[in-house]
Structure 1
Amino acid sequence: MASAGKEFVGPYRLFYLIRAGAMFEIWAVKPIGKDEPFAMKWLPPGPKHTRQSSGELKHEYNVGKTLDHPSVIKTLDFGTEKKDGTYLIMELFKTPNLKQQIHDGVEQLHWRLEEILGAAALSVEYMHKQGWTHRDIKPDNFLVSDENEVRLIDFTLARKIKTGISKLFGNKAPVQGTYSYMAPEQIRGKEVDERADIYSFGCMVYELMTGKLPYTASSSTELLNKHLKARPQPISMLQKNVQPEFANLVHRMLEKDPNDRPDTLMEFYRELKAGRCFHIKPKKPVEKPPKDHDEGV
């Protein structure tokens, strides 16, 4: 049975709960009278249904509906009603996110990591070409199938990239994002461009290569200060099989000054395709029984 005993939200029937978060619930749904399943990101009616939280979903819809790329989740519909709350309808892509797969051991991903990173980089590069920064790039926001299909998700924090004279009059941006992956300029509340996502992408690549985040700390303040001032441990000390050129590329992505990073993720993609992540290509691991994951969106 659905949340608060509901069976229908707008013109959609709730079938099963995929994941419940602090604010939103993700459901598999079907339009009334149709069989094709979709995913619903739902903000149920109640005390958490505020103008701000409903506005976040509307913003995510407004961003997502402008994006059409095979490695970006398809955003299809939006609705809000007093009795039903607010909902966002997306493509149903049933697979764990990258963070869940990292928890199973990054070595399980290494034999196919180059394909995953290539598709992920192109998805974010496409978003940049459409004039958006994602501002929350992290493994949790990439769904990856066993066939290496990728879907970039969650456009809640996305903002238009300021260009030309508008860059000179940008307001101080809200400090939002996930602390383990935030670029220094994002932490400082500056208006960010593509290079902030490139920093966050670099943090994710570092984690996928080594199984460790570039920075960890015992408090959020200490963690953010490390992003601002510290240097990450060299990848080569944690992953002996890394190609030196690839390690250098990832560390360039993690530079404090955006001007010292690659200008685009297409540059990362081209360097990835021209070389390799690993000195010796990892072999496909022996399959293990799947763990019980919440799947996809």
Structure 2
Amino acid sequence: MAERYKIYDKLGSGGVGAVFRAYDNELKRWVAIKRLMSANDATGDQNLATELRREADALASLRNPNIVTIFDVASDAEGLFMVMELLEGEDLADVVGRGPLHYDDFKELASQSLEGLLAAHQRHILHRDIKPENIKVERLPGGRMQSKIIDFGLARAGMRARKQTEDQEGTVMGSIFYMAPEQLTRAPVDVRTDLYSLGCVFYEALSGRKAFDGETLNEVIDKHINHDIIPLNLVAPHVPPWLGAWVLRLMALNPEDRPTGAQQAIEEFRAWEKMSAAPPMMPWMPPGYGQQPGSYTQSLYPGSATTSTIPIQPGYYQQPAEAYAQPVLEVIPDAEPIIEMAAQTTPMARTSPPASRTTASRRTGSVTKTPSVRLHSSASVHEEEKKGPNVKLIAAIGVAAVLLLAGVWFLFSGKNDPESGGAASSGLLGSSGPAEVTYQLPQDRLFPPADTDICLHLVAGVGGTGKDGRLATPDSDVLEWHDISPLANDNLMRAYNKSSSHAPKRTFWPTPKDGIIGAKPNRTVLDFRPREGRPIAMSLSDAASEKEKFPFGSPAPRGMPGMTLGVVFQADGTRLPMRLLTLTGDGGAAVILKLDKTKKLVAEFRSGGSTVSITSRDVDCTLPCTAILTWSSDGIAELRARDAPGKLYRATAKIKAPTAPLSKLQFGKVVGSKQDNAPTYEQFSGFLAEAIMYSSLIKVDQVQLLETKTLRDYYIQGPPTKPSSTKK
């Protein structure tokens, strides 16, 4: 191995072995290497070594875009190992931690996960440990979400039916919140077992809560075995009845009531998606499934009721009513299920995300990782029924024994606080201590492209705190504005002199009287209009320890070196001209965005004693606007601006790139010895909704996605138009 692969660091470990990040010297690429078995273990148990090699070869034969790719299976002096692709992105658990998925993303998740399982099942391989932590997701440049199933450590190739995976001590392995009843009772498992676990994942992805949860392991086990579940339409009213029924079918208590395989589940999803009403009661549905909690006013998903009390959330998939067919329940004919052979392996170590993503998970309130659980049992459920003892009691005793021996505590995620933009708290079961408040992007937002290079992300409705440190409410002062980016470590903007006199207020963006062009209703902004003659200004408090992560810092970003900075704002037309923002660095370079007397935007780029300016045409900055500034490492600076009516301006200029990180950001300006004597032309007066900065130059299609889908479509309503003028 040492001749071809250079090992860098350990990403994780499991019962079979450990996973390492390595570099392939021949193919010049980063890979993940999983050590399956040491040479000593292989010598001591040749049968196990043979089975592991056969399973590894079977996994390596899988070629599917929704399954982690195995590049090679080989042996060296230390034993057997597998070489796998090193995945980017984050766990589905982290994504769901920011809030339930909207329909577009859920549909991608459902179809891709089932496609991946179908490919594995066709080769007679079960996963048997499906959970959010074992599904990696990544946002593609075009905005589409891609998912891949990882960690086939509990998988087993073969056609002979056996009981659930056991190790040498006869313990059942898996993740308790997602384990099928047949796994808990040691009954035979097959492809429908994976469907049950995937259904539990889908339930959580749609609702933000676990399907089977409890304060103790015994309670969770009881809920699985008794099928004690709250219907999706009760915990997540935005989910239409057909979708809730489809998920419940995957999670049916009896395997016979589930789809016979992933193919049937896919076809049923496509058929049921055309329904406009709830399907009739089926055996797998819990009592009271059709009961709806109150009235509705908004359709968010295909087939959902036309009335809902929850707020409109842009970005959800919608279809016109005429697109729906008559409510006919279509069940795909049964097919022979593939039965699987049991194994004696432990879960494969999960490939960990990069350090930056680990930071993001900590700071954005991600779902708590669920450790695998071992449930002791001495016989199958059929044997136990003959002997008489209650199956649930045996399972519970086994769990208690494991807890006493291992001292395992399980983490449960906290509830989202809508006022904090999804601030979450979590703690150990049975422990006490203050909950950590974190900040995250609201669940109704499309997450920005190339998110791993975001070094500063400020959203008016998220992370604003007042004098007492509490979250800012409408019409309250915002003294601190917390960053929610995945790269930096909670950088925050502070009001000038930490004074309420210079702090913006949190408010709702005023909407136009005609309701056609302007800000969308109920959009939160920070009000920077001066009060009592005092200017409002905020600056980045202290990015010294994080400045190298900002544009033109020393660590190379994942994308192209450079800078991308986007803002959503509206200027007060009675106070022009003004300065909106200033971004500087230690090397004297600067980016300044101004607004002149004629309502145009002026972007100044300064570096090496030189200055270039780009002035927009036609774009009216006194209307809601988006502006995106980019600066490449080869010295190409660009201004891209669009106003509410849809007028677009784009122009570039040539200037030497900065030689030091641009890490000092300020909105507005306060100068001089007194707090209120800043020249009018240096003050910013207006509304600021969002600012997002990348430590890289993102691609053109990503810029377009950022400008339209991520920023403009969320805040601004107005007819999109073709560029009115473009200057090269």
Secondary structure at 2:90's aligned position in 1?
coil
- Alpha-carbon distance change, 90 to 229 in structure 1, aligned in 2, over 3 angstroms: same
Please point out which of 75, 81, 87 is paired with 2:81.
Answer: 87
- Within a 5 Å distance, the mapping from 1:33-52 to structure 2 comes to 33-42=26-35
Q: Which residue of 2 aligns with 1:98?
A: 92
Q: Which residue of 2 aligns with 1:67?
A: 62
1 or 2, which has the higher strand percentage? 2
Please point out which of 204, 207, 212 is paired with 1:210.
Answer: 207
Please point out which of 128, 137, 140 is paired with 1:135.
Answer: 128
After TM superposition, the structure 1 stretch with the greater mean CA deviation from structure 2, 266-275 or 36-45, is: 36-45
Cα distance in 1 for residues equivalent to 2:156 and 2:135? 19
The answer to whether 1:231 aligns with 2:225 is no
Cα distance in 1 for residues equivalent to 2:12 and 2:122? 32
Q: Is the 8 A contact 1:173 1:191 kept in 2?
A: no
Cα distance in 2 for residues equivalent to 1:58 and 1:65? 10
What displacement does 1:193 show? 0.8
- Alpha-carbon distance change, 22 to 261 in structure 1, aligned in 2, over 3 angstroms: closer
- Alpha-carbon distance change, 152 to 240 in structure 1, aligned in 2, over 3 angstroms: same
Q: Is the 8 A contact 2:113 2:147 kept in 1?
A: yes
What displacement does 1:72 show? 1.3
Please point out which of 486, 493, 500 is paired with 1:291.
Answer: 486
Please point out which of 84, 105, 113 is paired with 1:112.
Answer: 105
Secondary structure at 2:174's aligned position in 1?
coil
Please point out which of 20, 38, 45 is paired with 2:12.
Answer: 20
What displacement does 1:204 show? 0.5
- Give, as a single letter, the amino acid of the residue that structure 1 aligns with 2:300: I
What displacement does 1:49 show? 11
Q: Gaps (5+ residues) in structure 2?
A: 167-171, 276-297, 302-312, 316-444, 448-456, 458-483, 489-728
The answer to whether 1:150 aligns with 2:147 is yes
Cα distance in 2 for residues equivalent to 1:263 and 1:290? 43
Please point out which of 175, 183, 188 is paired with 1:186.
Answer: 183
What displacement does 1:290 show? 4.1
Q: Is the 8 A contact 1:43 1:49 kept in 2?
A: no
Q: Percent identity?
A: 24
Cα distance in 2 for residues equivalent to 1:10 and 1:220? 47
What displacement does 1:262 show? 1.5
Cα distance in 2 for residues equivalent to 1:95 and 1:264? 28
In the superposition, the TM-score normalised over structure 2's length comes to 0.35
- Give, as a single letter, the amino acid of the residue that structure 2 aligns with 1:117: A
Which structure carries more relative contact order (alpha carbon 8 Å, separation 6+)?
1
Q: Which residue of 2 aligns with 1:248?
A: 245
Q: Is the 8 A contact 2:4 2:26 kept in 1?
A: no
In the superposition, the TM-score normalised over structure 1's length comes to 0.79
Tell which structure's C-alpha radius of gyration is larger: 2
- Alpha-carbon distance change, 290 to 45 in structure 1, aligned in 2, over 3 angstroms: farther
Q: Is the 8 A contact 1:60 1:156 kept in 2?
A: no
Secondary structure at 1:263's aligned position in 2?
coil
What displacement does 1:43 show? 6.5
After TM superposition, the structure 1 stretch with the greater mean CA deviation from structure 2, 276-285 or 223-232, is: 276-285
Q: CA RMSD in A?
A: 3.3
Secondary structure at 1:106's aligned position in 2?
coil
Q: Gaps (5+ residues) in structure 1?
A: 1-7
What displacement does 1:135 show? 0.8
- Alpha-carbon distance change, 85 to 46 in structure 1, aligned in 2, over 3 angstroms: closer
